[in-house]
Amino acid sequence: MWQNEYVSTITPIRNACAARFECGRNPVRLFVIVSMQRSGSGWFETLMNSHVNLSSNGEIFGQKDRRKNVSMIINTLDRVYNMDLLTRSSKNECSAAIGLKWMLNQGLMDYPEEILDYFTKRGVYVIFFLRRNMLRRLVSILANSFDKEAKLLNGVHVSHVHSHEEPTINVSSLESDLGKMELMARKALEYYNRTRHIVVYYEDLMKNPYKLIQVQDFLKLPRMELKSRQVKIHKGPLWEHIDNWDDVNKTLSGTTYERYLRADY
């Protein structure tokens, strides 16, 4: 659960063709950050974008018209990787890595064979950025949903509200909800395991910043210290952030999801 400390500005972008001409001799690696909403991917992407030689263009497929069929998806990917699609994340510098962030529910799982073929032919580097603790993710989803409604009152949307009202989890469907999350992540890894890929977990990165070095090495980038201006505001043990913690604890105890009650960072 992260909140931007600042409002980013859009810098003027030079003509893309001219930029490509100037950087024509630079090898450019194509990548995609594959993730799920409320998994810390926004924070991870800002870290990666702080690298002077990398440009990640955000959730390109958040716009439904870009993923209404596989042809539109391929066309959009071509525009990103050919540097014809300019976003607020595009950089003026000669980039050594160009990519985007792609959520699993934004068309990526609908056409796995065609997208895998595309990734293979274009040599796309796939970075899976996932969350181990799906219960934490569920809490974040509920908190974010609550805050989006609160935005209508105060006009400000943050990743988690600063109130004492914590989300109440529907325990009757809890095991099913967690199972669906796990299944989607597992299927994504199965669909795209033949790509050139790396798997990074949010919790591992929180505990070990060296994971960022591994990602830079994976993309064959010069090593740099990466920074983000996003700050974490949903802190503390999990039980502090669930209104009906006793019910949740009772429901998951003794099940395959009990590990989510204890695991933390």
Q: Report yes or no: 82 and 19 within 8 Å, Cβ to Cβ.
A: no
Phi, psi dihedral angles at 133 (to 5 degrees):
-90, 100
Whether residue 100 has pLDDT greater than 70:
yes
160 has a pLDDT exceeding 50: no
pLDDT at 23: 55
Query: Please, what are the domains in the chain?
Result: 18-262 (3.40.50.300)
Residues 6+ apart with CB under 8 A from 82: none
Angle of CA points 114, 117, 119, to nearest 5°: 110
Q: Residue range 239-263: average pLDDT?
A: 94
**Considering the entire predicted model, what is its pTM?**
0.83
Average pLDDT over residues 191-208: 96
Q: Is the pLDDT of residue 24 over 80?
A: no
Q: From residue 162, give the alpha-carbon distance in Å to each of 26, 69, 165.
A: 46, 40, 8
pLDDT at position 26: 67
